[in-house]
């Protein structure tokens, strides 16, 4: 994992220290209970920082690969004990200003299963990879990206929900998944009105 700048780690901690807007669930009464800042922060830790990249569908179809993806920020998984309950995402589009936010949902909570899939691959254990996250907003697609630092054996593991024809949690060679997604989107781009 790449070294994370101090100011980003401080921003993540500030998000964890902030009161949660969503009420906690009280299992004793089966009702939502208000969350205090102390209760919200108790037990939450930020782990596994990784860079976030984004590629738009036009670039994906033009290049046929993830090489055109742009770095747009960082993400930390947020654990409550041993379980991922969300993520802190920090957007940095090169303007010098960052925006940090807490996110929940399947793309955050599904990351652990994708990591387990990657760890089970023998060549990953022996290789030199960087963990990244890839967003393809035009396809509502998010994948863990294992970037090969010494070769061209990048892997993508789509998180659920994945687009039709793409199996979530399956490790794909990056070129294969990019080509599948590009083939899926080309008809949509061709049908779109031209400016």
Domain parsing of the chain, residue ranges: 6-191
| Cβ count near 173 (within 10 Å) | 13
pLDDT tens, residue order, the chain (195 aa): 667 777 788 888 888 888 764 444 433 334 433 343 443 445 788 888 999 999 988 888 887 688 899 999 999 999 988 889 999 998 876 556 678 888 899 999 899 999 889 888 888 877 789 999 999 988 889 999 999 988 888 999 999 999 888 999 999 999 999 888 888 877 666 666 666
CA–CA distances in Å: residue 103 to residues 15, 89, 179: 10, 7, 29
**Rounded CA Rg of the chain:** 18
| 53-57 contacts, C-beta under 8 A, 24 or more apart | 53/132, 53/133, 53/134, 53/135, 53/145, 54/134, 54/135, 54/136, 54/137, 55/134, 55/135, 55/136, 56/136, 56/137, 56/138, 57/136, 57/138, 57/139, 57/185, 57/188, 57/189
Cβ–Cβ under 8 Å, residues 65 and 175: yes
Q: What is the pLDDT of residue 143?
A: 95
pTM of the predicted structure, to 2 decimals: 0.80
Among 160, 184, 32, 185, CA closest to 107: 160
Question: Would you state the pLDDT for residue 65?
Answer: 80
What pLDDT is recorded for position 135?
95
């Amino acid at each position: 994992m790449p070294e994370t700048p101090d100011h980003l780690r401080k921003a993540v901690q500030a998000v964890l220290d902030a009161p949660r807007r969503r009420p906690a669930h009280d299992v004793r009464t089966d009702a939502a209970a208000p969350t205090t800042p102390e209760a919200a922060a108790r037990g939450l830790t930020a782990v596994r920082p990784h860079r976030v990249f984004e590629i738009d569908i036009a670039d994906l179809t033009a290049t046929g690969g993830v090489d055109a993806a742009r770095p747009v920020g960082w993400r930390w998984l947020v654990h409550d004990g041993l379980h991922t309950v969300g993520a802190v995402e920090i957007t940095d589009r090169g303007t010098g200003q960052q925006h940090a936010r807490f996110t929940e949902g399947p793309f955050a909570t599904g990351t652990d299963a994708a990591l387990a899939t990657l760890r089970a691959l023998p060549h990953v254990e022996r290789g030199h990879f960087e963990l990244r996250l890839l967003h393809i907003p035009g396809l509502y697609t998010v994948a863990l990206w294992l970037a090969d630092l010494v070769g061209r054996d990048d892997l993508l593991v789509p998180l659920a929900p994945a687009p039709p024809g793409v199996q979530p949690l399956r490790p794909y060679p990056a070129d294969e998944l990019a080509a599948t997604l590009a083939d899926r989107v080309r008809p949509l781009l061709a049908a779109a009105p031209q400016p």
